Homo-oligomer: A and B are copies of this chain.
Amino acid sequence: MKKVKVYVTLRESVLDPQGSAVKGSLHTMGYKEVADVRIGKYLELQIEPSDRDLNVVVKEMCEKLLTNTVIEDYRFEVEEAN
Contact = CB atoms under 8 A, between A and B. Distances in A.
Interface residues of A, number: 36
Given A31-B57, A65-B25, A42 B45 contact: no
B64 A29 contact: yes
A71 interface: no
B61 A31 contact: yes
Given A65-B22, A65-B26, A42 B42 contact: yes
Nearest to A38: B44
A68 interface: no
A40 B42 contact: yes
B33 A52 contact: yes
A15 interface: no
